[in-house]
Structure 1
Amino acid sequence: MEPFGRAMTTALENARFDPASGEAVWIEEDYCAPPLAMERAEVLDDYFTEITVVDEDIDEAAGWQQIDDLPGLWEQILDQT
């Protein structure tokens, strides 16, 4: 999936789970208008029913630091199965 496949894979592998909202959370650098347009069409809409893009002008590393304390999404899913 060019040009976004590697970035999206890395973002989703490191996704977090927000227990307060019950939502998956991740940081992804994106240049589409609207945001995540290509990713949604190719993959994301198959697995997520609602996607909210938080439009913040934030460095990617700083964004990951903001959600670093949340549990991993995939660990959460495995614990529930």
Structure 2
Amino acid sequence: MAYRFVRARPKEARLPELRERLDGGDLREMEPFGAAMTHSLTNAKFDPQTGEAVWVEEDYCSPPLAMERTVLDEYFDDLTVVDEDVPESAGWARIDDLPSLWDRVPTTS
């Protein structure tokens, strides 16, 4: 499996909608990447030093995240694949000490 270490600047006003789509299962249903993207974004972290969301994404596209960009570009700017081939656990360990991206987003319910 291929995992990408990703950084992107959240579109703050759009994050409540993204949270709702993740919680509602809307994104999970997207084939073939929905389940992996839902897992990654649900566990995304926030880097307060850069103001970026960071996560590890399972991905097999060339270029990286080609299919996922149709969704990701709605909610993030300046998306950068920092590392195109990172072991999943090592990628998540890099950001383990950061706060959740979702701690900053008010819930709609």
Residues 6-60 of structure 1 deviation map (CA, whole Å, 9 limit, x = unaligned):
000010000000001000000012111111110002x111111220111243211
TM-score (norm 2): 0.66
Flag structure 1 segments of 5+ consecutive residues without an equivalent: none
CA–CA separation in structure 1 for the residues paired with 2:43 and 2:91:
12
Partner of 1:52: 80
Flag structure 2 segments of 5+ consecutive residues without an equivalent: 1-29
> Percent of aligned pairs with the same residue?
69
Cα-Cα RMSD: 1.1
TM-score (norm 1): 0.88
More strand by share: 2
More helix by share: 1
Structure 1 stretches (4+) deviating beyond 4 angstroms?
none
- The answer on 1:16 being equivalent to 2:45 is yes
Aligned residues: 77
- The answer on 1:74 being equivalent to 2:78 is no
